[in-house]
Amino acid sequence: MGNKAQFQVGDWVQGETWDKQRIYGYVIKIENPEDITKVYIVDSVNKELKGRMIRVLSKALQKVAEETPAEAAVEQLIDIALLTKDEEWFGQLLKQLNELRTQLL
């Protein structure tokens, strides 16, 4: 278990659930103990998981290569930052969204 701080809130991850269903989403919370990660599912082979938050063993996940997420995905993250009242995260996401929009112009 020397794998502390493997993920951070907001990291995009992919992996499998306990019953081997492929998932893709982003980290919402690092549970204590740190071998459990709460993930918001953006896409999955199991369409019922899409849009849900689930707990996944951290060792069953891997970070997705650093890419700028699509504008819609950033907007969803902003909604979550507002719901959780995380001002710092909201500010970071708003800056990222503005950068995305200026790149598209």
For 8-39, write each residue's pLDDT tens digit.
Answer: 888 889 999 999 999 999 999 988 777 899 99
User: Is the bond preceding residue 69 a cis peptide, omega within 30 degrees?
Assistant: no
- What pLDDT was estimated at residue 31? 84
Retrieve residue 90's tokens.
Answer: 């909201």
**How many Å apart are CA 76 and CA 86, to the nearest integer?**
14
- What pLDDT was estimated at residue 69? 56
The phi, psi pair for 100, rounded to 5°, reads -60, -45
For 38-87, write each residue's pLDDT tens digit.
Answer: 999 988 889 899 999 999 999 999 998 665 557 778 888 898 999 999 99
Q: Which residue has the higher pLDDT, 102 or 85?
A: 85
Taking a C-beta distance cutoff of 8 angstroms, is the pair 81, 90 a contact? yes
pTM of the model: 0.59
